[in-house]
A and B are shown apart, each in its own frame.
Chain A
């Protein structure tokens, strides 16, 4: 039986939702009995959910009714202990450690286990503590940081006995078996502290990194709660997607000049709002593979984009919940639509930015011509053009001449002064300027080709030709 009490429920729920492992939950509920950490925690497949990657963790609450469950997705790693109190506390790891010691053929009859943990765990611990503290304050309970069980202690309680058993040694203090943990992937978690508490981090000759455990702990003691919450980004989730834009009166990002809002709404805000509330995040960063003007629609499969959610209070979602989230976004407005919503690691953003530079785009444009035309006027060839930076964007871009390729063009005759032009172009081609010529600064342009004044009335992005993110079947 576990020693969770009714008062622990809110903490248990909050931590499980954030993806914490059982032993970390026990720690933050100040469970101080070794046996609680020593026992194995089953991770079983849920027969109801047919998705193989969905695992459910059940914790029997003993005296209280029902069980508290947490849905775990592919990345089961606990964000607080980074896995130290998960698989590394199971008998298999204990055996590994013992075997390693046995191979060295030391002779001893008693041992003590020492553990060294990477500095960034202190940051995560502190973050989790502030997270839980808020919950406690709300429910007016008393819990001091000193009451929380340390990762080190929990680990030793879980494993020391087993290792001692394997090696046939009593746990006393003569022979030291030391287990060191390192997690290079999260080493950068500490770096923000160097900006906020620079005097805690002094380079010394012997140490490779200035981020020693002592220094990090000292900095965490000094930093204020608000500053910490604002700085820490180690817990962030990035979701990827493609968006369609059906309105010609919607900017991609908020249009604000001199503090004044020029147009209501934006693609970014429409998409991020439901995400912000579901993830209970403090903020977000929106980025996409290129962008389109306010008056341009994005059709077809849509444009890849990413939203990074900062400090999400809820980070684990299974496939069904993500689908639901996608639906919520799509129901919220008819001006945009999102597809292939999925959560991935931050590193995947670089793939998305590839599309901006390297891939081709397809467009459809409604063209007006001054002279009367018939369909024989619309025969185009493969085209190389040179575009000086359009006047439209010259205030914020360097002046340069850009060679660009129009891979293909085709047309649909509409009437004597209108036709639809379909183009497939190299990434970075300014379509509007190709049509009207931008004071002759794009050469050749459609006016030159057709020997008439021409202008562009409407533009749609038909596709952004990058096959990423992977499509999620409906």
Chain B
């Protein structure tokens, strides 16, 4: 029987590939992690280096209303082909998160695709985002177009490249 120290591959390890987009819209350290399932569905999450997850920050508010006419909460898909889902491009905002220190952060889609759902659990329990950013604290689920399943990650970094970025940052001591 396996020792708990030597952990078996987790659900994410088994089914997903981790991709990263760093410094979204030029903002230092605002890194996102895109979990791409083997069936091409992508889950957008905060990367562990995102400012929200640093320095014991607390979340004051999460807002899915990104403009007067558009709320991600109103997203509704139906049927197998997920008709009706809002189509997103890479820099489409998913939500705005305000921390207790009044810092505001926008979380972006990072990939092209149809929005399937946003995580409503974090509206009620924002701590989920802080405690389990890669699982229960996910932001959104997006379905890329079938033809774009492979190309959708072309602008993204692999785990190795992401770690290189982190190393470089540490050397330069960029504040986050």
Contact = CB atoms under 8 A, between A and B. Distances in A.
Nearest to A388: B117
Given A395-B143, A399-B116, A414 B1 contact: yes
Nearest to B9: A455
Contacts of A438: 11
Interface stretch (A69-77, A320-328, A415-423): A415-423
A417 B4 contact: yes
Q: From DSSP, what is the main secondary structure of chain B's interface residues?
A: loop
B128 interface: yes
B41 A394 contact: yes
Given A418-B1, A437-B136, A394 B79 contact: no
B138 A457 contact: no
Contacts of A392: 15, 37, 39
Contacts of B117: 388, 399
Tell me the interface secondary structure of chain A in the complex. Answer: loop
Interface in B1-40: 1-2, 4, 8, 10-11, 15, 37, 39-40
A23 interface: no
Contacts of A415: 1
A455 B132 CA distance: 15
A399 to B, nearest CB: 5
Contact of A436 (B11, B116, B119): B11
Given A392-B39, A440-B121, A457 B136 contact: no
A391 B143 contact: no
Interface in A430-456: 436-440, 455
Most chain-A Cβ atoms within 10 A of its Cβ — which of B11, B79, B119?
A: B11
Interface string A384-418: 00001001111111110000000000000011111
Interface residues of B, number: 28
Nearest to B79: A398
A53 interface: no
Given A416-B4, A418-B1, A395 B40 contact: yes
B141 interface: yes
Interface residues of A toward B: which range?
20 to 34
Nearest to B121: A440
Interface string A350-371: 0000000000000000001010
A31 to B, nearest CB: 58
Nearest to B82: A399
B78 interface: yes
Given A392-B39, A394-B41, A440-B128, A455 B80 contact: no
B4 A370 contact: yes
Interface in B60-77: 77
B135 interface: yes
Contacts of A393: 39
Contacts of B2: 368, 417-418
Contact of B135 (A396, A416, A440): A440
Contacts of B4: 368, 370, 372, 416-417
A8 to B, nearest CB: 56
A255 B166 CA distance: 39
B153 to A, nearest CB: 16
A398 B80 contact: yes
B41 A439 contact: no
Contacts of B141: 391, 394
A436 B4 CA distance: 16
B107 interface: no
B43 interface: yes
B1 A439 contact: no
A443 B121 CA distance: 11
A391 B39 CA distance: 9
B40 A439 contact: no
A372 B4 CA distance: 9
Interface of A: 368, 370, 372, 388, 391-399, 414-418, 436-440, 455, 457
Given A368-B8, A391-B141, 20 more contacts: A372-B4, A391-B41, A392-B15, A392-B37, A392-B39, A394-B141, A395-B37, A395-B39, A396-B39, A398-B78, A416-B4, A417-B1, A417-B2, A417-B4, A418-B2, A439-B119, A440-B119, A440-B132, A440-B136, A455-B11
Interface of B: 1-2, 4, 8, 10-11, 15, 37, 39-41, 43, 77-80, 82, 116-117, 119, 121, 128, 132, 135-136, 138, 141, 143
CB-based closest 3 A-B pairs: A440-B136, A417-B4, A395-B39
